[in-house]
Structure 1
Amino acid sequence: MTGIIKEYWQILKHQFHECSPRTLAGRFLMVMFALVFTSQLLVNHLWERETESDRQEALARVSTSVALRMSATTEYFVTLPASLRKAAINKLRYMGGARYFITLNPEFIKLVPYENSWAHQTVVNVFKAVLKNANHISGRVEVAFSRPETLKVFDNQTLLQDLPDNRGQETLLVEPLDLPVLVIQVELENSEWLYLATLMPDSSILSADDSSPAPLQTSYLIWMLVLLVFATMAIYFMVRPFAALSKAANDFGRDLEPVAIPERGCLEYERTARAFNQMQQNIRHYMNDRKQLFSGISHDLKTPITRLRLRAEMLDDDVQREPFIHDLEHLEIMVKSALQVVSNTDIHEPPRVVDLERMLNDMTLAAQSVGQRAWLHTPFLNHPEGDGRYNITGKPLALKRCLENLIGNAIVYGAPANVYIERVADQVIIIVRDNGPGIPEGMEETIFKPYFRLDYGCQKNPDGNGLGLITARHLARIHGGSLRLRNHPEGGLEVTLTLPVA
């Protein structure tokens, strides 16, 4: 069970990472928007609950008050003798001033169904409860709302709006408003029905359901959007120093030249910037110390190597002299190669636009001029010259050394050397393929170790030193690129150099 939960958690994290913004400003804005939106929903929910509770209490009080008055009126007519009810109703109608429309009907009037909201249903429930608890009301009680234009009175055919002006309908028709009419029908003896119709005193309580809660009104949403815009600007200015830090780190990684960044901003950024500036200085000091160390070692070893060479040449025994001289020559080559690696990878030249296609074309033509087999293949043979398809920003000398090492290895260990170049999005990919035996499986990283050489390489090039690949990879990395090796399925070694355009 725990394993399943962890698996789903990893999937959820992956989906969140894929869907969320990649920039720090975007993530800040997303979190802030989520918090504001969540708090808005919570406030809206609490506001709605409080408002609804207040409305229900107010509606219950108003409904109870009206229901008690109508209950008293109903009880008055119920207790009257049957012979006096019609006379009392007619007298009230002609005297005027009645709060209700009251009739005595010989049948139950069926009302057109009305779509009750929670407020209308509350009024109906309150009236039913009050009337059923009245002392003198024992018959059937029906309470319902009706629209004034469909309200029937006297019988199931007569509409309220069809009555003459002197019949009291003006108490229920409030033009131009279309207010629902509350109708109460109480069953009396002899199958007669007491019919009372009225309007609620505060009809706004019944019609407020469709209004938006205050927190979700348009003006409030507009102000929230305005605040989000200002917050976005503030977040942008807060994270802008991190963009400068990223650019400085990228520039420093290319040529190891320190790029000082200002140590101003929030406390976390100040600490990061201070540590980054110190790290640049430490790395630069380390590189200088390394170069001086190798130079000193090379200088200090030259004298004893020269003395040993002289002593070896003075040996009379040829069998002993030749191995001594061979070992000393090998030692001298290793020292010179190590110093050359340090100097070659510590390149001080300004970056500029380099046309890699032209550089590779010149290199392969130069190799062909001395009888070496090297060919350049491009997928766009007819593209306009100088269109910048294979242009990158880099250090020309460093790029030339890198490519010379790769093409030279392909010529020496598996000629011919086939060079391919292509542009994919914002990267230029250069592939150098030879026809040699390749490298053993699993040694794709081991081959980059300094002075490491395979038996085949030692046989083909005894004077090699095993530093060409590591130098080429270092030069690729200072340009933000990468270098990888693999055996081609059709035979030979394939070296892929990937360089970013910018």
Structure 2
Amino acid sequence: MTGKIKNSWHALISKINIYSPSTLAGRFLVVMFALIFTSQLLVNYLWEKEMESDRQQALAKVSTNVALRMLATIDYFVTQPAGIRKVTINQLRYMGGARYFITLNSDFIELSPYQNSQAQQTVVNVFKAVLGSDKHIFGQPKVAFSRPETLKVINNQTYLKDLPDNWGKESLMVDPLDLPVLVIQLKLETGEWLYLATLMPDSSILAEELSPAPLQTSYMAWMLTLLAFATMAIYFMVRPFEALSSAAKAFGEGLEPVTVSEQGCLEYERTARAFNHMQKNIRHYMNDRKQLFSGISHDLKTPITRLRLRAELMDDDNVRDPFIKDLEQLEIMVKSALQVVSDTDIHENAEVVDLDRLLNEITLAAQSVGQRAWLHTPFHPNGENNHGIYEVTGKPLALKRCLENLIGNGIVYGSPVNVYIKREDDQIIITIRDSGPGLPAGVDISTFKPYQRLEFGYKRNPEGHGLGLVTARHLVSIHGGNLKLRNHPDGGLEVILMLPV
């Protein structure tokens, strides 16, 4: 069970990472919007519950007062003799009508179906409770709401709107409002139905519920305005981090310290201070490394020279020749190590480099001395040339050394060499394929280790030292690119360079 929960949690985190914004500002904004929207929903829910509770209490109080007043009228007619009730109702109409619309009907009047709201249902329940508790009323009163334009009175064929004005219909029909009419029908012991209709004193409490205040249009507009200001604030907050990212990229490409401002929030100040300190330490380390190798070279030249002179004085050729060969190899290794230091510490200004032209120069130079290396460029229809397609901003000498190194390796270990260049979106891909045996299985990563050599390579070039690929990979990385090796299915080794435009 624990494993399933853990897998579900990891799946959820993975989906969040996929669909969430990639920038820090975007994630800040999403979190802020989610918090504000969630808080508004919670406030809306609590506000609505509180308002509905207050509304129901006020509605019950008003309904009880109206029900008690109507109960007095009903008691008056119920306690009268049957013969006097109609006379009383006629006199009320003659005198201008009563507070309520009152008639005596011979039948129960069926009201048109009406979709009651929660507030109206509360009124109906209060009236039934008040009227049902009176000792003069026998049977259950019929209480319901009806619309004035469909309200029937006297019988099931007569509508309120068809009655004469002196019958008091104006007390129930308030144009242009369409207020619901409360109708009470009570069966008397004589077989007649006492019919009363009225409007609630405060009809607004029966109106359809409005949109909750926290989610009204004006409030949402204010919330979006606040989010817009928050977006601007977040942008200014994260802008120093963008400058820090650019400085880190520039330092990684040229190893030249780029001092960043240390002003900002506490977290940024600490990060910027640590970054500036790291740049100084790395630069000092590079200088110290260069000085160390230079010192080693200088210190080794004298003893190597002395040993060579002493070896020349040996009489035994069988002892002297191997000794001199070892000294020569030691001297070459020292020079190679110094060359690696100088090659990976190139101080050049970045400029636009046309890789197509550069590769063409390198392959033509190789062909001029009898080496087999060819450049293959994709064909562009409609007579288009390659001008500007394969241009990158970088260090020309570093790129030239890198490509010469890789193409030269291909010529030495697997001639002939075919070089391919193509562009995919904002990336230029250079593929250098030789015709050698390729890499044995499982050694492609170890090939990038200094002084790591394969048996085939040692046989083809015993004087090599296994530093070429290490140097090339470093030169590609300072340009923000990547270098990888793989065996071609049809034989040979492929070296793939991917450089950003």
TM bucket (normalised to shorter chain) is over 0.9
Counterpart-to-counterpart distance in 1, 2:292 and 2:441: 36
Say how many residue pairs are matched: 500
Counterpart-to-counterpart distance in 2, 1:122 and 1:238: 54
Moved more, 377-386 or 317-326: 377-386
Decide whether aligned partners of structure 1 residues 12 and 273 sit closer, same or farther in structure 2, where only a CA change above 3 A counts: same
Q: Deviations over 1:370-395 (max 9, x none)?
A: 11000111223556335311100100
Q: Deviations over 1:266-309 (max 9, x none)?
A: 11101110100000000000000000000000010000001101
Q: What's the secondary structure of 1:302's corresponding residue? A: helix
Q: Deviations over 1:112-163 (max 9, x none)?
A: 0111000111111111111111111012411111111111111111111111
Q: Deviations over 1:63-120 (max 9, x none)?
A: 0110111111111111111111111111222222511000100000001011100011
Task: Judge conservation of contact 2:451–2:465 (CA < 8 Å) in 1.
Answer: yes
Counterpart-to-counterpart distance in 2, 1:342 and 1:304: 22
Q: What's the secondary structure of 2:120's corresponding residue? A: helix
Moved more, 81-90 or 374-383: 374-383
1:281-430 equivalences under 5 Å are 281-382=280-381, 384-385=384-385, 387-430=387-430
Counterpart-to-counterpart distance in 2, 1:26 and 1:214: 29
Moved over 6 A (4+): none
Structure 2 match to 1:490: 490
Structure 2 match to 1:230: 229
Q: Does 1:241 align with 2:240?
A: yes
Shift of 1:190: 2.9
1:60-209 equivalences under 5 Å are 60-209=60-209
Counterpart-to-counterpart distance in 1, 2:43 and 2:448: 63
Task: Judge conservation of contact 2:97–2:167 (CA < 8 Å) in 1.
Answer: no
Shift of 1:26: 0.5
Q: Does 1:8 align with 2:8?
A: yes
Task: Judge conservation of contact 2:82–2:190 (CA < 8 Å) in 1.
Answer: no
Q: What's the secondary structure of 1:392's corresponding residue? A: strand
Task: Judge conservation of contact 2:105–2:192 (CA < 8 Å) in 1.
Answer: yes
Counterpart-to-counterpart distance in 2, 1:231 and 1:423: 40
Q: Does 1:215 align with 2:219?
A: no
Counterpart-to-counterpart distance in 1, 2:139 and 2:447: 104
Give the TM-score, by structure 1 length.
Answer: 0.98
Shift of 1:254: 0.1
Q: Deviations over 1:212-240 (max 9, x none)?
A: 12111211111111111111101100100
Counterpart-to-counterpart distance in 1, 2:121 and 2:17: 49
Overall identity of the aligned pairs, in %: 73
Amino acid at match of 2:245: S
Structure 1 unaligned segments of length 5 or more: list them: none
Counterpart-to-counterpart distance in 2, 1:302 and 1:385: 52
Moved more, 313-322 or 242-251: 313-322
Give the TM-score, by structure 2 length.
Answer: 0.98
Structure 2 match to 1:29: 29
Q: Deviations over 1:178-225 (max 9, x none)?
A: 11111000001232100000000000000141x212111211111111
Task: Judge conservation of contact 2:97–2:168 (CA < 8 Å) in 1.
Answer: no
Q: What's the secondary structure of 1:153's corresponding residue? A: coil
Task: Judge conservation of contact 2:25–2:238 (CA < 8 Å) in 1.
Answer: yes
Amino acid at match of 1:423: R
Amino acid at match of 2:259: A
Shift of 1:176: 1.6
Counterpart-to-counterpart distance in 1, 2:450 and 2:150: 99
Amino acid at match of 1:264: Q
Moved more, 400-409 or 452-461: 452-461
Structure 2 match to 1:472: 472
Moved more, 322-331 or 478-487: 478-487
Shift of 1:8: 1.0
Counterpart-to-counterpart distance in 1, 2:260 and 2:55: 62
Structure 2 match to 1:268: 267
Counterpart-to-counterpart distance in 2, 1:150 and 1:75: 28
Counterpart-to-counterpart distance in 2, 1:467 and 1:218: 69
Counterpart-to-counterpart distance in 2, 1:440 and 1:301: 37
Counterpart-to-counterpart distance in 1, 2:405 and 2:387: 27
Counterpart-to-counterpart distance in 1, 2:220 and 2:258: 45
Shift of 1:451: 1.4
Moved more, 353-362 or 84-93: 84-93
Task: Judge conservation of contact 2:458–2:464 (CA < 8 Å) in 1.
Answer: yes
Structure 2 match to 1:59: 59
Decide whether aligned partners of structure 1 residues 313 and 459 sit closer, same or farther in structure 2, where only a CA change above 3 A counts: same
Counterpart-to-counterpart distance in 2, 1:40 and 1:76: 53
Counterpart-to-counterpart distance in 1, 2:141 and 2:100: 17
Amino acid at match of 2:252: G
Structure 2 match to 1:253: 252
Task: Judge conservation of contact 2:101–2:198 (CA < 8 Å) in 1.
Answer: yes
Counterpart-to-counterpart distance in 2, 1:434 and 1:306: 40
Counterpart-to-counterpart distance in 1, 2:368 and 2:168: 118
Q: Deviations over 1:414-440 (max 9, x none)?
A: 000111111111111111111111111
Q: Deviations over 1:25-78 (max 9, x none)?
A: 111111111111011111111111111111111110010110111111111111
